[in-house]
């Protein structure tokens, strides 16, 4: 065998495998999150709580007989879930309700989580089904936690958004809200479940019978409380890089208009700074209710993993 033939043989043996590195959208998404919760000026207890979790799946090669060039670099893909809960009741039971709801969610995520962070036609319905399952289990957990309390037990409003790749899933039970801020426009994503206390005769009797009072609001649907209240409808929209998400309890929206919220978000301070600004504005308006705010900035980063392949 000639020297040239031997060189070609060795080159063929040593040549790295031509494998395209996986680069799902879920590996390039990030969410910068700020949050704040303060007690209302007429409240003895802050009955609000918030929760933000990151859901990750990854791969890391610990040891291998393969050369580093032959196996993939470290990989991680992730999604996010944000919640605000506004407990119903002012004697400590409201605070316990919102705390119990979010604590149950955090533990359920570990126990029953089948994390579909790559959304497709089939997995989207699976995600919605899992969210519904979680809300029902939290509803059950509040009934158990409220057995020792008088009246009708523990109940809370509960608002959720979940980010998986480019997709946003959202739902609400009660009187908190979730918004999407994009290109100067603030859009309320969720619907609230309240009735005017002075016009209860104009609403279905079933809603009036299930209603629970929280400050000036009459809430017709809660997690916990009466059986069957926690039925949820999960909606889905596609996100764009640069979108901002806002979750808040009614302590913010009772005194601060949507236009004022949009003005604050348009200045694009950090999420923590924007939370502080919105809370300060609500307190300036002498909000009587507790104020809880989550602001999250969504970013979809460029494809970077193929650059790693070029370096190899």
- pLDDT 10s digits, 199-244: 545 445 444 444 555 556 688 888 987 655 567 889 999 999 999 9
pLDDT reported for residue 132: 93
With cut-offs at 50, 70 and 90, classify the pLDDT of residue 250.
Answer: very high
pLDDT reported for residue 288: 80
Q: What value does the mean pLDDT take over residues 250-279?
A: 95
In a domain, 271, yes or no: yes
pLDDT reported for residue 312: 38
In a domain, 305, yes or no: yes
In a domain, 46, yes or no: yes
Which pTM value belongs to this model?
Answer: 0.86
pLDDT reported for residue 157: 94
Q: What value does the mean pLDDT take over residues 21-33?
A: 85
CATH number, residue 270: 3.60.40.10
**Tokens 């926690």, residue located:** 230
pLDDT tens digits for range 93-108? 889 999 999 999 999 9
In a domain, 88, yes or no: yes
pLDDT reported for residue 178: 98
DSSP string covering 230-249: T----EEEE--TT-EEEEE-
pLDDT reported for residue 280: 95
Return the higher-pLDDT residue of 21 and 246: 246
In a domain, 20, yes or no: no
Is 62's pLDDT higher than 90? yes
Task: Please give the tally of structural domains in the chain.
Answer: 1
pLDDT reported for residue 187: 97
Q: What value does the mean pLDDT take over residues 142-148?
A: 83
- Separation between Cα atoms, residue 183 and residue 274, nearest integer Å: 17
In a domain, 114, yes or no: yes
- Separation between Cα atoms, residue 96 and residue 104, nearest integer Å: 12
Backbone angles phi, psi at 74, to 5 degrees: -55, 140
pLDDT reported for residue 40: 80
In a domain, 237, yes or no: yes
Within 10 angstroms of residue 90's Cβ, the number of other Cβ atoms is: 16
Q: Which residues pair with 244 in a beta bridge?
A: 181, 297
Backbone angles phi, psi at 16, to 5 degrees: -65, 150
pLDDT reported for residue 213: 58
End-to-end CA distance of the chain: 30
Is 247's pLDDT higher than 90? yes
Cβ-contact 171, 128 below 8 angstroms: no
Q: What value does the mean pLDDT take over residues 279-306?
A: 85
Is 23's pLDDT higher than 60? yes
Is 91's pLDDT higher than 80? no
- Separation between Cα atoms, residue 78 and residue 20, nearest integer Å: 21
Q: Which residues pair with 95 in a beta bridge?
A: none
Cβ-contact 288, 42 below 8 angstroms: yes
- Tokens for 155, please give them: 């109940």
With cut-offs at 50, 70 and 90, classify the pLDDT of residue 278.
Answer: very high
Could you list the residue range(s) of the whole structural domain that residue 63 is in?
38-311
pLDDT reported for residue 73: 86
In a domain, 18, yes or no: no
Q: What residues have CB less than 8 Å from 181, skipping those under 6 apart?
A: 187, 243, 244, 245, 246, 262, 265, 266
Cβ-contact 295, 274 below 8 angstroms: yes
Q: What residues have CB less than 8 Å from 265, skipping those under 6 apart?
A: 181, 186, 244, 246, 274, 295
Instruction: Give me the percent of the chain exceeding a pLDDT of 90.
Output: 48
pLDDT reported for residue 259: 97
- Tokens for 214, please give them: 């929280």
Is 304's pLDDT higher than 80? no
């Amino acid at each position: 065998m000639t020297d040239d033939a031997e060189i070609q043989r060795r080159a063929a043996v040593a040549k790295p495998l031509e494998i395209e590195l996986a680069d799902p959208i879920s590996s390039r998404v990030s969410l910068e999150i700020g949050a704040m919760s303060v007690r209302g000026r007429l409240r003895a207890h802050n009955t609000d709580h918030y929760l933000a979790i990151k859901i990750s799946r990854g791969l890391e090669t610990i040891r291998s007989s393969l050369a580093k060039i032959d196996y993939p670099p470290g990989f991680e893909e992730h999604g996010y879930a944000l919640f605000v809960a506004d407990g119903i009741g002012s004697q400590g039971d409201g605070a316990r309700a919102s705390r119990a709801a979010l604590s149950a969610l955090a533990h359920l995520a570990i126990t029953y989580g089948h994390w579909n962070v790559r959304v497709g036609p089939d997995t989207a319905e699976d995600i919605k089904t899992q969210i519904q399952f979680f809300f029902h289990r939290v509803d059950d957990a509040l009934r158990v936690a409220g057995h020792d309390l008088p009246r009708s037990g523990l109940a809370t409003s509960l608002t959720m958004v979940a980010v998986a790749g480019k997709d946003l899933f959202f739902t609400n039970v009660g009187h908190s809200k979730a918004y999407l801020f994009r290109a100067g426009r603030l859009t309320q994503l969720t619907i609230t479940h309240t009735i005017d206390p002075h016009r209860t005769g104009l609403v279905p009797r079933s809603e009036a019978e299930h209603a629970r009072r929280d400050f000036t609001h009459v809430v017709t649907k809660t997690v916990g409380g009466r059986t069957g209240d926690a039925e949820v409808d999960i909606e889905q929209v596609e996100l764009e890089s640069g979108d901002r998400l806002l979750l808040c309890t009614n302590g913010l929206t009772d005194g601060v208009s949507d236009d004022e919220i949009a003005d604050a978000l348009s200045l694009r301070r950090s999420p923590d700074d924007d939370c502080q600004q919105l809370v300060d504005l609500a307190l300036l308006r002498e909000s009587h209710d507790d104020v809880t705010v989550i602001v999250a900035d969504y970013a979809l980063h460029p494809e970077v993993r193929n650059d790693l392949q070029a370096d190899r």
